[in-house]
Structure 1
Amino acid sequence: MTTTGKDAASRIIDMDPAIMRARFPREPFTFRHALADHPLLQLEALAALVGELPRDRIEFNSGRLQPNQRPEDTPGVDLEPEEIVRRIETAGAWLVLKNVEAVPAYRALIEAALAEAAQSAGPAAPPFSEPMGFIFVSSANSVTPFHIDYEENFFVHLHGEKFMHVFDNRDRSIVDEEGLETFPGKHRNHAYRDAFEAKGQVFTFGPGDGLFLPYTWPHWVRTGGDWSISMAITWKSPADRRLNKLYFTNAVLRKLGLPQQPPGRRRMLDAAKVAAYDAARLPLEPLRRSEAMRRRLRALFFGRDANYFYRKAE
């Protein structure tokens, strides 16, 4: 890394500006961070955080999964989420706390990290809009199945050992154009084959290790022989937000029997789709601020088992 001494010790994340200029935001790269010992990211603090988040921001299941896990066959865990965090060493579970930026102290931490990343990226970097945080607490030998995310991600590992199998999102033999499209009711897990591994790269993480994971790069994750904590510090650039709208609109049109060209092929049509998306989304925005309404919408699109915390509470 390029920072040393007092400056490096005071930074949350330490990224090499030369690497940022060469790879960001197109390709993954590793970095170091100083978050492993942060008080907000220890088990006791995370157990308390469970009680501060809306229920639909907490998801958990057994960690004994496979990269090609069928969503409908995912086993649950008969524990409350706070118990899972406190007993993660023996719980055999995987848990994620979503949108922790809703809690002011976590939002301040996320924004500070992104501000440092922006400084390393330089003035040419796109703005880091919609900052979000997702904290993962996993038992030993747990697996997060093969999936893609519709944000950009500074992934920081905090405890234990973790392995991320990452694949190039430009390779349509891994995830095809239809696979990139997303709509309510579509599960995040994607079809996976062992043959993919020859085209992937495995990143190994210990406490203090981090990885930039670009927008929609497919990946699956496994933990080592100890329980683990990790955090995804995510955001969307203006280009990401536009692509998300196009992927959603194309998916809806495809479901209506109208296959679509990939984004970028027909620019005028893309612009019309984005405008239509914005117009349709506008009346829904106030509803999404209500947990009760989010719960109803989730049940409508995903079914009653869409969120494990809700399923247990009913």
Structure 2
Amino acid sequence: MKSLKCFEGDFENFKLDRGPFEFRHTMADHPALTIESISKILQELPKDRVMFSKGLNDLGVNFDDALDNDTKKLDLNEIIETIRTSNCYIAARNLELHPSFKELYGDLLADISELLKLNKTGNKVLEPMIWLFIASPNAITPFHFDRSSNFIFQIRGSKELAVFPPRVEEIISAKDIETYLERASALPPWREELDRFAHKFNFKAGEAVHIPFVSGHYVKNGPEDISITMSIFFHSNETMKWTSAMKLNNRLRRFGLKPKAVGNSPLVDRLKAGLLPAVDGMFIVAKKILVLFF
């Protein structure tokens, strides 16, 4: 494997999007990732790219809703000055568009592309996006899952990250995943008994974890310092195919069918992904007919 710039250590690359794994990274001392630099960068981002929440201490809270609802109360200067004691949480997206991240972003894409090639799941990173998360000591990120793959890098502070195996019906049903991929706001509820499935990583600055596509996870920050975390969300050719196949399953469920979950048969998944545009076309035609005649 080619030498990587941001990733280091031993990689369990065969687990990519099959299970979580831990490794080390080289970005803990990057100048764009100090709290002073981040404070300046956040002020320069468009307001719709910065989200905020306060008092998150329940794993069962809907994380999407909490961020959206509290963004209206955002006062960045006050939050950053008091973040050690205010039990608050800042999330910022699309950092790859800021000049301070240009070189780092290029290095990350090169590293991940190399891992995808090695894993035979693509030649380049698709739909990449960098997020930053700055949180008070002991802050909690509630149980949720994302619509893409994720590498999460701890820059400052420490945390316990619990990651659940992907596509396990008992944890998050295939139906819930398929609905959420279509931008439904409802996430499946957290249940304490699910914790027995979790892979728990206690990690600190310089350490990182891979969170597979649609894997449930939650975070509990350590008590000793604020936490600064950077994530890069992305797709591979494989996860793009899975996304399309899951969206087709969601269409089929609307007709009362019970399609098989994605991930069991690569051939069936490819067929489903290929059929999605045609099925969407049929939906559009059906809507037009209904409008004309009813």
Structure 1 length normalisation: TM-score?
0.75
Q: Partner of 2:289 in structure 1? A: none
Provide the C-alpha distance between the structure 2 equivalents of 1:73 and 1:128, rounded to a whole number of angstroms: 29
SS in 2 for 1:91: coil
Between the aligned residues of both structures, percent identity stands at 26
Residue of 146, 150, 153 corresponding to 1:149:
146
User: Per-residue CA shift, 1:234-271, capped at 9, x if unaligned?
Assistant: 210122123223434544564x4544513465764542
Asked if 1:53 is matched to 2:48, the reply is no
User: Per-residue CA shift, 1:187-229, capped at 9, x if unaligned?
Assistant: 2643111111111111111110101111111111111112100
* Residues paired across the two proteins, number: 272
Judged with a 3 Å threshold, the aligned counterparts in structure 2 of structure 1 residues 278 and 221 are, in CA distance, closer, same or farther, namely farther
Judged with a 3 Å threshold, the aligned counterparts in structure 2 of structure 1 residues 107 and 83 are, in CA distance, closer, same or farther, namely farther
- In the TM superposition, 1:1-314 aligns within 5 A as 11-16=5-10, 19-20=12-13, 22-70=14-62, 74=66, 76=70, 78-119=73-114, 122-123=117-118, 124-126=120-122, 127-181=124-178, 182=180, 186-187=184-185, 189-225=187-223, 226-251=225-250, 254=253, 256=254, 258-261=256-259, 262-263=261-262, 265=268, 268-276=271-279
Is the Cα contact below 8 Å between 2:20 and 2:165 reproduced in 1?
A: no
Judged with a 3 Å threshold, the aligned counterparts in structure 2 of structure 1 residues 275 and 53 are, in CA distance, closer, same or farther, namely farther
Provide the C-alpha distance between the structure 2 equivalents of 1:72 and 1:171, rounded to a whole number of angstroms: 22
Judged with a 3 Å threshold, the aligned counterparts in structure 2 of structure 1 residues 111 and 143 are, in CA distance, closer, same or farther, namely same
* Cα offset, 1:59, TM superposition: 1.3
Provide the C-alpha distance between the structure 2 equivalents of 1:279 and 1:35, rounded to a whole number of angstroms: 48
* Amino acid in structure 1 at the alignment position of 2:100: A
Moved more, 72-81 or 170-179: 72-81
Is the Cα contact below 8 Å between 2:143 and 2:216 reproduced in 1?
A: yes
* Cα offset, 1:136, TM superposition: 0.3
Structure 1 runs not aligned, ≥5 long: 282-314
Q: Partner of 1:302 in structure 2? A: none
Provide the C-alpha distance between the structure 1 equivalents of 2:101 and 2:125, rounded to a whole number of angstroms: 17
Structure 2 runs not aligned, ≥5 long: 285-294
Provide the C-alpha distance between the structure 1 equivalents of 2:64 and 2:235, rounded to a whole number of angstroms: 30
Structure 2 length normalisation: TM-score?
0.80
Moved more, 35-44 or 64-73: 64-73
Is the Cα contact below 8 Å between 1:140 and 1:223 reproduced in 2?
A: yes
Provide the C-alpha distance between the structure 2 equivalents of 1:148 and 1:134, rounded to a whole number of angstroms: 15
Provide the C-alpha distance between the structure 1 equivalents of 2:23 and 2:64, rounded to a whole number of angstroms: 36
User: Per-residue CA shift, 1:128-173, capped at 9, x if unaligned?
Assistant: 2222101000011111111111211111001111111111113210
* Amino acid in structure 2 at the alignment position of 1:203: F
Provide the C-alpha distance between the structure 2 equivalents of 1:12 and 1:266, rounded to a whole number of angstroms: 32
